[in-house]
A and B are shown apart, each in its own frame.
Chain A
Amino acid sequence: MAGLLGSGAILPRGTAPVAVIGPVKRSRHPWLRAIAFAVCAIVLLPIFSLAYVALSGNGEDWPHLLANVLPGASLTTLYLLALVGAATSFAGVATAWMVVAYEFPLRRTLAWALVLPLAVPSYLAAYAFGEFFHFSGPLQSAVRTIFGFETIRDYWFPDIRTTPGCAFVLSSVLYPYVYLTTRIVFLMQGRNIADVARTLGAQPAKVFWRVLLPVARPAIVAGVALVMMETVNDIGAAEYLGVQTLTFAVYTTWLNRGSLEGGAQIALLMLVLVFLILFAEQWARRRQRFHTGRATHMKVHPPRVRLGRAVGLLAAGGVALPVICGFGIPLYVFGRYAARRLDQFSSPALIDAFQNSLMTASLTAVLTVVLALFLLNAVRLSRSVGVTVTVRLASVGYALPGGILGLGLLFALARFDNSLDAFARVHLGFSTGLLLTGSAAAVILACSIRFLALAEGAIRSGLEKLPGNLDEAARSLGKTPAQSGRIVLLPLLQPAIFTASVLVFVDTIKELSATILLRPFGFSTLATHVYENASRGVPQEGAAAAIVIILTAMVPVLLLSGALARDREASL
């Protein structure tokens, strides 16, 4: 796409580009295309194998599902998506705008702190919110003390264990996706456009609504799309808060009614929802071709509007609120538990889990970035619609619940392992056993497939911001595509690659369901460590691991936030 536009751009205005790209019919880079399709096939493996399971069902679950489950579950899911979408757009855009356009107390601190909730897994947030807003939690206790209430029947308090409550929990930890994408746009060229509008006499409010918001729209939608995918695949928070989403229905159909086929059928149905989200994102990004802010423009720093003392404090409080919810509450709840169990921080089990998490997350980040770079380049160089569509399809795995995706992968890997083993036994006289199934490799592969969409999205938007003719200039100077990619594109894409690695690393640290299904003996990650305790009914015992998850994910998140603030060419 970028390449296509780039070759057109070197032509004088008004010249039809047909002469350049029209008649060229020979297939470009057949090998590259073949490998790209092969990679996509592996990424889509879990979905293929789920489809196989779904098709092997006889549909006997459907009368019950249609009558009693799907109408309610679909409505709940859509309601949840609408609430989370609205809340994260508002929180993400409002905080980004405040931080970029106004000067108020603690602004610099809040600018990076706003990203912190990204470090908190939604299942931990759900538990923490559940405790914090519970009858015996600090908030209600304070309410009772202040007003002199005795029992729960004496007063009304909003229930966190509802769909809006679940939306509150998810929004509190997911809004940073919108904040990150939107702040970059406001920083990069929003200011320049805003300055122009201001010199033409527009009021600040009008500038925001009429100029900046439309400019930022693709970025907002990109962020919200990530949020929506995370909401669709969530099971931890929904299950804990008793919200019966489609994902919840997948699990009850599979586990309680013994119909994996029925569960797989619902999961595939959910992919339709995901296609809609992806389609909306694509549509909103369709004219995102005005992003080439030059470093020289960026050096100009028009002063932020300084807010008065009272208004400033109010603004600081408002901007701090999402951080307090998404990061403060979980840290408070688990920090208190962990403080009573300080010995756990040095337990060998926790240290081992920490190392495993670090290893899995690092390797997954590397693998996804390499795959994403390869696939995006295949799209650029091959200029084939087939490749483009396939690569886009390859990212839908992100929206599947991790446990279901893991199950699909398990079937495929086990079949591969057992076939290989059978072959080796017959022809080579020895057994290869289970090569991939039940090894750390399976966990890393599952996480890579799950989170490829994150890496691909981040690097793609980085790529889209580069003028398309950059590497073609290198090519015209005699470099091969690989050389020009390495010399010209890779250095320019570094910020985007960094963003991609961080997002994947953090999500892998938080990943639970696929890991717990596919891991080998003796392989615990921080997330499975927490979960073992939580499923025993004593999440307090996993508090130390929960804190380590949050702190481990926090480091790259902070690096990312810092990098984005410094480097305005950064993508996402």
Chain B
Amino acid sequence: MRISTIALHTARFAALAAGVALSVPAMAEGVVNIYTYRQPELIQPVLDAFTAETGIATEVLFLDKGLEERVAAEGMNSPADVIMTVDIARLTAAKEKGITQALDDATVNANLPSEYRDPEGHWFGLTKRARVVYASKDRVKDTALTYADLADPKWKGKICIRSGQHDYNLALFSAMIEHWGEAKTEEWMTGLKANLAKKPDGGDRPQAGAINAGECDIALGNTYYVGLMRTNDKDPNEKEWGNAINVIFPTFDNGLSHVNISGAALAKNAPHREDAVKLIEFLSSHEAQQIYAEKNFEYPVEPGLEPSEMVQSFGVLKADTLPLTDIAKNRKAASEMVDRVGLDDGPSS
């Protein structure tokens, strides 16, 4: 009896699985398929607005690793229309792997400043985020810092960061290599390592938590997390973390702060090219830019559009003008440097 019940269930599941397998690629009319490294929650508000305005549905597939490899392997049969990701290096990598196509669209080009899109139209920056210093409200009296200051021995045992191998830190280190050259950056990174309070770990938010706990006085983090923490009604802990810190915009010698972007690209073999272009146009529009700013606390790339009030309260961002592609090309050098310096081993070794 046991066997026959199992057999019955198996048959039912097999039928179910076959159904799933056959109904997979969303090839229906009026659909844009999105492969994304950005979590669905973060892009859903914008996508909903897109569907409401155009009647075109969206299908979202979230991947955490290997998005480029998957699209490349799928080749000409890939269902991907639009690729969305954070971090400039991922956008340029998508172009290099040949999984994007050029898009020369008047609306998009008019909406997005040229420094935040690929000259050949293979990727488009949609939002900006600055990599800033979270400073303890109680213990840090400084109101201005440079990135170079983080290696100053006066911060010994007082700095927290997430892993040096994370995209956001690698982009910052890459920008430094571009500004300072490898030798000076490595010297700086060695100084930063000596200043760490503990081994790098976790995400950006827990660094604010560590400041709140008194483990360290300053930390590196992205701007939008501060907004997300301070408005987190579900988790009182995070609200406390967000309110325990001030945001300081550190600067390079040129007086400007490091920014990274999130962006989108048109997939090379997009089966719904026309609708996909409409989506990219929409993402660059004023309406979408406003949603990004208000819901996600990101900086819009649209010139002249103010960030949310919360983000304005951090102070004025003066974004670095270093070409983003220059930052992206240093990524490998930055990653090797993190290993060489042993940044992720923490202060002791």
Contact = CB atoms under 8 A, between A and B. Distances in A.
Indicate whether A and B interact: yes
Interface of A: 64, 67-69, 72, 130, 134-136, 150-153, 159, 161-162, 240-242, 244, 251-252, 254-258, 260, 340-341, 356, 359, 362-363, 366, 403, 406-407, 410-411, 414-415, 417-418, 421, 431, 433-434, 437-441, 444, 513, 516-517, 519-523, 528, 531-533, 535-538, 540-541
A362 B209 contact: no
B59 interface: yes
A69 B339 contact: yes
A521 B57 CA distance: 13
Interface of B: 9-10, 13-14, 16-17, 20-22, 24-26, 33, 39-42, 59-66, 69-70, 73-79, 93, 163, 165, 170, 198-205, 209-210, 212-215, 225, 228, 234-235, 237, 331-332, 335-336, 339-340, 342, 344-345
Given A64-B340, A407-B69, A411-B73, 20 more contacts: A135-B209, A159-B198, A161-B198, A242-B200, A242-B344, A257-B332, A359-B13, A362-B9, A403-B66, A414-B73, A414-B75, A415-B73, A437-B74, A438-B25, A438-B70, A438-B74, A440-B20, A531-B64, A536-B39, A537-B205
A538 B40 CA distance: 13
Contacts of A541: 234
Contacts of B20: 356, 359, 439-440, 520, 523
A160 B190 CA distance: 25
A256 B199 contact: no
Given A433-B25, A523-B20, A536-B42, A340 B234 contact: yes
Given A434-B79, A516-B64, A68 B340 contact: yes
B132 to A, nearest CB: 16
Given A255-B65, A359-B13, A403-B66, A438 B24 contact: yes
Contacts of B336: 64, 68, 257
Contact of B66 (A258, A410, A421): A410
A410 B71 CA distance: 10
B215 A152 contact: yes
Nearest to B335: A256
Given A418-B76, A531-B64, A434 B332 contact: no
B344 A244 contact: yes
Given A407-B66, A418-B75, A535-B64, A362 B10 contact: yes
B10 A366 contact: yes
B39 A421 contact: no
A540 B170 CA distance: 27
A242 B163 contact: yes
A72 B345 CA distance: 10
Contact of B24 (A64, A440, A532, A537): A440
B4 to A, nearest CB: 14
Given A153-B214, A161-B201, A410 B70 contact: yes
26 contacts: A67-B340, A68-B339, A72-B342, A135-B215, A136-B209, A150-B214, A151-B214, A240-B202, A257-B332, A258-B332, A340-B234, A403-B66, A406-B66, A417-B77, A431-B77, A434-B78, A438-B25, A438-B70, A517-B63, A517-B66, A522-B26, A532-B41, A532-B62, A533-B41, A536-B41, A537-B205
Nearest to B9: A362
B interface SS class: helix
Contacts of B21: 439-441, 520
A252 B64 contact: no
A246 to B, nearest CB: 14
Contacts of A411: 69, 73
B181 to A, nearest CB: 19
A537 B39 CA distance: 10
B165 A256 contact: yes
B225 A537 contact: yes
